[in-house]
Structures are given as C-alpha cells and as structure tokens.
Amino acid sequence: MRLLLALLLTSCAAFAQLTDGVATTVSRTVTLTPDQADFAISAGASLGTTQQQATQVLLDAGLSNLTLTGTSLGQAYDYSTSPYTVQTLIFYQFAFSIPASGLKDTANTMEKIRTQPPDAFRIFQYSAGLSASPATVEAMHQTLLPQLFADAQKKAQAIATAAGLKLGAIRGVSEYYYSGGSSGSSWLSSGNVNTTVTTSSTSSSGGTQFTFYASVTYGVAQ
C-alpha cells in the first residue's frame, strides 16, 4: 500500500511539472570589439590633503568624469636615504572611462603627472584597459533578443511535441548576460614615480566575449 501511494505521489509530481509548462534556457555568444578605455588611478598624498584637493589636481590636468572608488592609508618607503624613511600617506582611488580612441592621449597625460607629480602627490599610479561600452553591450542585447526568443520557442516546441502536448503562450521570461575572457585586449599600467610605464597590446581584431542568456517558460495544453 505504501509503495502504491509513493508511486501515485511520484506520478502526480511528474504530471504537475509537465503541465506547469515547458521551461527552456538558450544562449548565444558573441565577441564585442572594445570601444571604451577604463582608467584606474591611485594617488598617494600627505595626510593633510583632502579629497577635493586631490580631485582638483586631476581636473586641472584635463581629466574629467572622475569617480572616487576608495580611500585608504598606506606607507611609502624612501630608500634613497640611509637609514630609509617611512611616510604614511592617504591614497585616493579614482576611476573614469573615455572612448577608446582617446587612450593614447590620456596615457600621455597620466605619464606627465606620474613623472612630474604635483606637490600634492607623493605617489601616482594608474592602469587602463579596453572594454566594450555599456551602449555597445545593450545594442548587441537588443539585436540578439529576437534570436534568443526564436531559439527558445523552437526548443520548447520540440519538447512539447515529444511529450504529446500543445505549446501555449509565454508565461515567464528571465534574461542576463555574462562577460567571459578577452580574446584580445590592450592595457597599460604604471608603477611608482621611479618606474617606467609598461604597455601591452594585441591586434585590433581582439575583443571580449559576451554570452547572452534567456530563460522562457511556455504554457502547455493536452
């Protein structure tokens, strides 16, 4: 009796899952050409330097759209003296993005600040990398969305047909995208004021892979 009851409950659960609808998940992967340069700055200043003062130095240098991403304390070691000296600094971290075409000119500005730091800064470091801008990602999302829905419907129809059911209307949709590894990129970074800039780049055919997903649930009828 217990075995029969268990089988009935299992059958009811399976039937409920079947008649609740057909859920499918589909995806498409594309490579987007980088069109945006993302810069990160770490500026070490004396403890009396305010965020506003540090920001103004960068604005005066021609940088804009700065976003403060962090503030921390750290030590700077000067080994040019014997014994070496240690100074506690306040570090302001900034980030900003520009069109990729401005990468070289902005890097030259950064190098000028790094090699000839203003009085407010004791240490100046930066890095930059190329990425696909939000506008580019959204444009591709809008292009792929109809294709994802078509893929989902085709997949759901095959499942419904195999189960002897009639595919109904869409009952629910969720979607997202994932940014994978770069198949080609350009980046640059700097050390402290005593080091030279390091650069690396690949061919312009490189880009970042994005995978767009859509989960669609369809109603069914016997």
Amino acid letter at 151? Answer: D
Residue 203 has pLDDT above 60, yes or no: no
In this structure, what token pair is assigned to residue 75?
């030590």
Residue 181: pLDDT band with limits 50, 70, 90? low
In this structure, what token pair is assigned to residue 149?
């829905």
In the chain the domains, ranked by start, together with CATH numbers, are 37-130+185-203 (3.30.70)
Half-sphere exposure of 202 (CA within 13 A, CB side): 13
> What is the structure's pLDDT at 78?
79
- Taking CA 119 as the corner, what is the angle to CA 73 and CA 96, rounded to the nearest 5 degrees? 65
Nearest to 193 by CA among 40, 76, 60: 76
DSSP state of 219: E
